[in-house]
Chain A
């Protein structure tokens, strides 16, 4: 393959001749340089011949064979937009948020405008609740005190050292129980897969 020396026309100069817009310097160069003039001439002939190459035609039925394998696009159905009230109601998060905000706001407003009634309700509820809790605790304590093992348990924890011993024994028993239970319910591990082929 031959290439032009850099002092002669560049590839861009040759392109410019092909599209009919060479620079003045390139024109002047070609006027006295036989080698470049010859290249420009040969390029013109070559490009004209390339341009004149006939279009080649595929065999009859080419288009049909293509179309036989083509899946025609199915356009997405055009869905008319819903009116805005339905669009808003269709958004569950939005509806839930709005309902929460509205509920909190309504509560605050009602409380502010009925503070006396609200106070009486809350004090009454507080009294009832504390009474109920106290009575339940008393009943439970009386029931425990009536058990046959209550005297023994009381004797075991009569001093702080004994109480500590009981607590330690209870914690140890609990821990052993957990370990035993865990061993009993553990799923057996699968045999390790063979990593090598």
Chain B
């Protein structure tokens, strides 16, 4: 595709077009790619490693790796698959090196002062809920987050990519380098385990 054909605003351009801009040396295109994927990538990595600082470091590392290798990007693959693949690999490598901490939406378990708790609390995207809805959602969300934490890492990645990020089975198979059938099995088992771990909420 010729660069002259890319006279579209960056925000309206497809991922492939933005990548072409980046390959042409436009810094704004790099920023646009970060803007598009910083939340989903950070969300995935955070829910994998359960530590804000480490999640930021790993997400940052993944973005730097992707953007510095942008010239080797193959347009036949989805850009999102590539980003998620690199980020997930970074998270899995990290998990192999350390034990998991418990997720707290209310701040780091190691925070000792109210200021530290406030500073380490997770910022979440607003979904426009009422105060009561927010409390209920927060409780259910916390339970689900805990359930996700208990899943095996490969189940966790699959369920997050499928039902939180909304990726197709085929894309997940591409991201994780797994056969399609394996991905379906992992997601099915992950849902089974989550149903069991959330069963107490029914009562």
Residues of A that sit less than 8 Å from B by CB = 1-3, 11-12, 14-15, 39, 42-43, 46-47, 49-59, 62-63, 65-67, 69-75
Q: Which residue of B lies closest to A51 (CB)?
A: B163
Q: Which residue of A lies closest to B198 (CB)?
A: A46
Cβ A62 vs Cβ B159 within 8 A: no
Dominant secondary structure at the B interface: helix
Cβ A73 vs Cβ B23 within 8 A: yes
Write out the residue numbers on chain B whose beta carbons fall within 8 Å of the beta carbon of A55: 39-40, 43, 124-125
A-B contact pairs, 8 of them (CB 8 A): A1-B192, A14-B188, A39-B195, A46-B195, A47-B163, A55-B124, A57-B42, A58-B38
Chain A-chain B contacts (Cβ-Cβ < 8 Å), number: 121
Query: Mask for B163-203, Cβ within 8 A of A = 1, else 0?
Result: 11010000000000000000011001101111110100000
Which of A47, A49, A73 sits near B70, CB closer than 8 Å? A73
Write out the residue numbers on chain A whose beta carbons fall within 8 Å of the beta carbon of B6: none
Which of A46, A50, A72 sits near B27, CB closer than 8 Å? A72
Interface-lining segment among B7-15, B57-65, B94-102, B110-118: B57-65
A15 to B47, CA, bound (A): 24
Q: Which residue of A lies closest to B53 (CB)?
A: A59
| Shortest beta-carbon distance from A13 to chain B in Å | 11
Tell me whether A63 and B31 are in contact in the complex, defined as CB-CB below 8 angstroms, given that A11-B184, A47-B163, A52-B141 are known contacts: yes
| List of 8 A-B pairs having minimum Cβ-Cβ separation, nearest first | A54-B124, A50-B163, A11-B188, A55-B125, A56-B43, A55-B39, A58-B42, A57-B123
Q: Which residue of A lies closest to B35 (CB)?
A: A63
